Amino acid sequence: QKPQSCAFVIFGVTGDLANRLVIPSLYNLAAAELLPGRFCIIGVARRAMTNEALRESLMRGLHQFATRRVDHKIAHRLLECITSVEADPDDGPSYDRLNEQLQELEAARGTGGNRLFYLATPPDAFAPIVRQLGRLGLLKEDHGAWRRLVIEKPFGTDLASARALNAELLSILNEHQIYRIDHYLGKETVQNILVLRFANGMFEPIWNRHHIDHVQIVVDERLGVGHRGSFYDATGALRDMVPNHLFQLLSLIAMEPPTHFDAHNVRSEKDEVLTAIQTQSEEEALKNSVRGQYTAGKIGDTEISDYRKNPDVRPDSVTETFVALKLSIDNWRWAGVPFYLRTGKALPMKRTEVAIKFREAPFAMFRCTPVEQLAENYLVICIEPNEGITLQFNTKVPGPVIRIDGVQMKFLYKDYFEAEPATGYETLIYDCMIGDNLLFQRADGVEAAWRAVQPFLDAWRKVGTKGLEFYPAGSEGPPGAFELLRRDGRSWRKL
């Protein structure tokens, strides 16, 4: 299904996000013939650029970041749709000119007044741009034409700023016009969590506190913070990853079955479970969290320097590059089932997974191996790499005497499906154009997520360096993260 005709306005068109992801995704959609019949792209930047210069620079970006060999005919056809426009939200008149140019282009291309504004800009530009667009009435839906806004995390830096941003956006737009991107929802393996749970009859009956002992959500990263030091030092692992990416995984795993597979019902159930995350007191938050910061080390052959030596990081920074949390969900399905979350930089390997640990068999029938020595029963959803699903269980070792050993049954996507390499943004951008909000975050979900992490932010701010653990790059992370589970008689799943 091709989306309706529209104008696609990209703010920050010369930036990293536009070059690395937005344009290559539009290219992949063009190659799949999934762009609208009548279409134009308006590339907005703060400095003036000719159409030719912008097209050439985007073509260079495309060659660098395309996920497949660039077909010149398709690329030219796409880039010819682009018009360069200079506008700065601090300069009102430049937005008046943008408005005129947009209307001229819409008339010339016959796009019917449908508009998608993609803010590929730093987050502090969201509100000023939206204010300008609102002043000119560019976001008002009328005569059947739709107007949509796309923004990408971070949506605020804490609960108060997230509320303020939502209030500002919602004073100009309606919720259904806002598409808040979390790129995790563009991942096939993440979308598949809904299908795994709700298109199969065998998981849902045991998906609860009676059968599940605990859940682990792990997003380990190999890279250090590299050239993103100034952003990262003001942000830290918790804000950067938890209320967004890790909570998307958590909500898909823990939500109740929606009554319909549509944006309203799916998002309501996801947001409901985020609201059920227990709000911890500051004392509990300190007990149930571990903060780490990496020091110099080696990952494979790559030397990683001390986080604090990064030129854009404060030399006495207390920003965490690793965080582990223990959370509880206060509802009937999950009462008493801890959710352990962990994410960090400069760890030995990239590993993104959700591991569901089932309860032990209730009774030791096999005298050769007591229940507690049997392999643990895990269902593991491997998000990245080795995309797939693994089930770990016990099996009899062949032979005349009874011996038991743990084995794994593995489903790997690559064994079943062939997919063109993609950026992960194609579905998201396509959904914005067809008006399906299912894979986007709603204001109440964003706020519920910040509400759940706010006690950790508050408690850490008060204690400063106290409790911050250091771990060498390339190590397993701070020892406290292992203690967090050990004290509950549990451990992180070993590979």
* Distance (Å) of CA 221 to CA 350, 383, 385, 440: 5, 13, 11, 24
Query: Sheet of 178-181: strands edge to edge?
Result: 82-86, 39-45, 6-11, 115-119, 147-152, 178-181
- Known binding residue 175? Answer is no
Q: Which residues contact 396 (CB under 8 A, 6 or more apart)?
A: 402, 403, 404
- Known binding residue 270? Answer is no
Give min distance, CB of 321 to ligand BG6, in A. Answer: 10
- Known binding residue 462? Answer is no
For ligand BG6, which is the closer residue by CB, 221 or 431? 221
- Known binding residue 221? Answer is yes
Site string for ligand BG6, 59-98 (x = CB under 6 A): ----------------------------------------
For ligand BG6, which is the closer residue by CB, 218 or 318? 218
E-assigned strand segments in 129-255: 147-152, 178-181, 212-220
- Known binding residue 211? Answer is no
Q: Is 176 tagged catalytic?
A: no
Q: For the range 120-124, what are the long-range contacts, defined as Cβ-Cβ under 8 Å and sequence gap of 24 or more?
A: 120/10, 120/11, 120/12, 120/13, 120/15, 120/17, 120/18, 120/22, 120/152, 121/11, 121/12, 121/15, 122/12, 123/151, 123/153, 123/154, 123/155
For ligand BG6, which is the closer residue by CB, 3 or 154? 154
Q: Does 221 bind ligand BG6 (CB under 6 A)?
A: yes
- List the structure tokens of 102: 């947009």
Q: What's the rounded Cα separation, in Å, for the pair 478 and 471?
A: 5
Give min distance, CB of 36 to ligand BG6, in A. Answer: 28
Kind plus residue range of the DSSP H or E element containing 115 = strand 115-119
Q: Does 431 bind ligand BG6 (CB under 6 A)?
A: no
For ligand BG6, which is the closer residue by CB, 236 or 297? 236
Q: Which of 210, 245, 260, 264 does the annotation list as catalytic?
A: 245
Distance of CA 491 to the CA centre of its chain: 25
Q: What's the rounded Cα separation, in Å, for the pair 323 and 241?
A: 9
Give min distance, CB of 478 to ligand BG6, in A. Answer: 18
- Known binding residue 494? Answer is no
For ligand BG6, which is the closer residue by CB, 129 or 219? 219
Give min distance, CB of 178 to ligand BG6, in A. Answer: 19
* Distance (Å) of CA 64 to CA 20, 24, 135: 8, 9, 38
Select from 196, 330, 213 the least CA-distant residue to 252.
196
* Distance (Å) of CA 351 to CA 83, 300, 380, 387, 419: 41, 15, 12, 10, 21
- List the structure tokens of 412: 């790997």
Select from 217, 210, 274, 203 the least CA-distant residue to 246.
217
Give min distance, CB of 447 to ligand BG6, in A. Answer: 19
Give min distance, CB of 263 to ligand BG6, in A. Answer: 22
Q: What's the rounded Cα separation, in Å, for the pair 304 and 308?
A: 11
Contact 13, 129 (CB under 8 A): no
Query: Sheet of 289-295: strands edge to edge?
Result: 404-412, 388-396, 378-384, 351-358, 212-220, 339-344, 322-327, 289-295, 468-472
Site string for ligand BG6, 303-342 (x = CB under 6 A): ----------------------------------------
What are residue 411's DSSP bridge partners?
389
Site string for ligand BG6, 16-45 (x = CB under 6 A): ------------------------------
Q: What's the rounded Cα separation, in Å, for the pair 69 and 6?
A: 27
Site string for ligand BG6, 465-494 (x = CB under 6 A): ------------------------------
For ligand BG6, which is the closer residue by CB, 88 or 152? 152
- Known binding residue 345? Answer is yes
For ligand BG6, which is the closer residue by CB, 6 or 219? 219
Give min distance, CB of 240 to ligand BG6, in A. Answer: 5
* Distance (Å) of CA 28 to CA 65, 237, 492: 11, 31, 38
- Known binding residue 187? Answer is yes
- Cβ-proximal residue to ligand BG6, closest one: 240
Site string for ligand BG6, 200-219 (x = CB under 6 A): -------------------x
DSSP designation for 415: H
| Interacting positions 229-258 with ligand BG6 (CB under 6 A) | 240
For ligand BG6, which is the closer residue by CB, 219 or 428? 219
Q: What's the rounded Cα separation, in Å, for the pair 10 and 42?
A: 6
Q: Does 271 bind ligand BG6 (CB under 6 A)?
A: no
Judged by CB under 6 A, the number of residues near ligand BG6 is 4
Give min distance, CB of 226 to ligand BG6, in A. Answer: 10
Using CB under 6 A, pick the residue from 352, 377, 423, 441 that binds ligand BG6. 352
Give min distance, CB of 21 to ligand BG6, in A. Answer: 11
For ligand BG6, which is the closer residue by CB, 117 or 184? 184
- Contact positions toward ligand BG6, by CB under 6 A? 219, 221, 240, 352
Residues at the binding site for NADP(+) are 46, 153
**Residues classed as catalytic:** 245
Binding-site residues for substrate: 183, 187, 221, 240, 345, 350
Annotated binding site: 46, 153, 183, 187, 221, 240, 345, 350
